[in-house]
A and B are shown apart, each in its own frame.
Chain A
């Protein structure tokens, strides 16, 4: 019994070693500072496929990079005409979904692996789990659910969700470069970057990295004071309003 367990354990531990390669990646910038002239940035992810000890490299690799931003809970609402005017009649809550989601690949997703593998590994926008609250239950609905489609479309319009099969380039058969767009309206916080390497329809290696979007300089100061000292911040803004109002009045006084 114990022997059998030991064998199973040995197999389990040996399983990753069955892969012949590992991924080494690096981001061009691990911290994006949002300052007063920030209008968005493109991060570049560099990486190579390295042979593992005694492993042999395959010929045709496919790469999937999934970058996801801090989670948030949103409500998608649908309007319909009621008595001549447009009213929100229905809504769904998307619970703890990424505020930002970019999925980039080097080829169309359908060519990377079979649908079952893609679904299990959440590759591609259609396979990414976006949890909805339906009544008292939490579940992700079918891909063509109208609320899900509307949610992704609206996020896409804000440049916060996106999928591209051209943003990853293999410079050689093992060295690649991926470009991750971070728009100006991206939320501050930690962004996870998940990198998956596929070969012959299966995932052969996976690694993760991350970057931070933080406010810096006066932006950071304003945000921190507004959050931590709301009342003082409000009084300061009000005093500023009065001061500017008085200054203008004094400057333009003719009598």
Chain B
């Protein structure tokens, strides 16, 4: 069944889009990520203009992270203080990112920068997670206990000043790396059109040693706030949010996320991280392939203005 998208200006198959929402929602609920890094390329692939995709995906991510966040909230697995600290720096990062986004778009190099950032970030983060996940898997095979938290092991991050205590996560860290991570997430999110959950989760685990119990719920709260405000900002400034597309994605997304959260809870955290690592790495390789292999058409069009 075809349905016409008023802002994207083209008809799409409603079941295809609903299915995409379900699939990405499932992954997002399972790993506690927004799933923008999967959904945005998928929408562009079925012909929706990139700008409309980025803007509409924001609202879809807001919906699925809200339903996920509610589940984690009930389990008391959300560290609000940590989320707010990350958010305060994230806003600055987003503003910087939006400024660079506009500049690069005018120079016709936005696609390249998005492509290269996807490759570098996804392969690096994915590789790290696979490495960590495999080691944990090996330890489990040998019958050793999975060492989730090593209370004694402090890295250089813990030597920084301005220390703060985050009670829910049971960590005592400097505010500087928290702000740094928040800034990076906001910046990268604006440039790449993603919530940044897949980056945030490993960064919180590896740099701040946030326990797995609270990391996903906290990341979801942050994703929810950034994506909800991104929706409003995109709608108010660029008029690019397609409400019809958004609703179809949301309905699929929230249902998928529910099942994803359940599946995620049945799995060991190490295995979950390994799987997410593989997924992130695969998407990174996909983008690398696109940059290196000669495109079907060397030429492309971009609408500068509707006049």
Contact = CB atoms under 8 A, between A and B. Distances in A.
A215 interface: yes
Interface in A17-66: 34-39
Chain B interface mostly: helix
A85 B292 contact: yes
Nearest to B247: A240
B7 A237 contact: no
A100 to B, nearest CB: 12
Nearest to B255: A248
Contacts of A218: 6, 244
Nearest to B14: A36
B250 interface: yes
Contacts of A191: none
B150 to A, nearest CB: 33
Given A238-B232, A241-B231, A75 B59 contact: no
Interface string A244-255: 111111001001
Interface string B96-117: 0000000000001101100110
A75 B301 contact: yes
Nearest to A233: B235
Interface string B52-79: 0000000110111111001100100000
B112 A185 contact: no
Interface residues of A, number: 64
B18 interface: no
Contact of A241 (B62, B234, B255): B62
A154 to B, nearest CB: 5
B254 A78 contact: no
B3 A237 contact: no
Given A88-B111, A154-B301, A241-B246, A37 B4 contact: yes
A187 B49 CA distance: 14
A76 B112 contact: no
B302 A255 contact: no
Contacts of B302: 74-75, 77
B10 interface: yes
A8 interface: no
Interface centre among B59, B108, B243, B307, by most chain A C-beta atoms within 10 angstroms, is: B243
A155 B2 CA distance: 23
Given A78-B298, A230-B237, A240 B246 contact: yes
Size class of the B contact interface (CB-based, 8 Å)? 35 or more
B251 interface: yes
A172 to B, nearest CB: 38
Contact of B307 (A71, A81, A87): A71
B6 A85 contact: no
Given A226-B235, A248-B254, A35 B4 contact: yes
Interface in A69-99: 70-81, 84-88, 91, 93, 96, 99
A34 B8 CA distance: 13
A72 B303 contact: yes
B62 A233 contact: no
Nearest to A224: B6
B243 A226 contact: yes
A252 B4 contact: no
Contacts of B70: 245-246, 249
A99 B59 CA distance: 29
B231 A237 contact: yes
B101 to A, nearest CB: 16
B251 A154 contact: no
Nearest to B56: A237
B7 A241 contact: no
Contacts of B147: none
Contacts of A39: 2, 4, 11
A234 interface: yes
A249 B71 contact: yes
A5 interface: no
Contacts of B4: 34-39, 184, 219
Contact of B67 (A34, A85, A248): A248
B239 interface: yes
Interface of A: 34-39, 70-81, 84-88, 91, 93, 96, 99, 147, 150-151, 153-155, 184-185, 187-188, 215, 218-220, 222-223, 226-227, 230-231, 233-238, 240-242, 244-249, 252, 255
9 contacts: A73-B305, A73-B307, A74-B303, A86-B298, A99-B306, A187-B306, A219-B4, A240-B247, A249-B71
Given A88-B112, A151-B301, A222-B7, 7 more contacts: A36-B3, A36-B244, A150-B297, A222-B242, A226-B239, A234-B233, A246-B66
Q: Which 10 A-B pairs have the closest CB atoms?
A: A234-B235, A245-B66, A248-B254, A150-B299, A234-B232, A241-B63, A245-B67, A249-B70, A219-B6, A252-B258
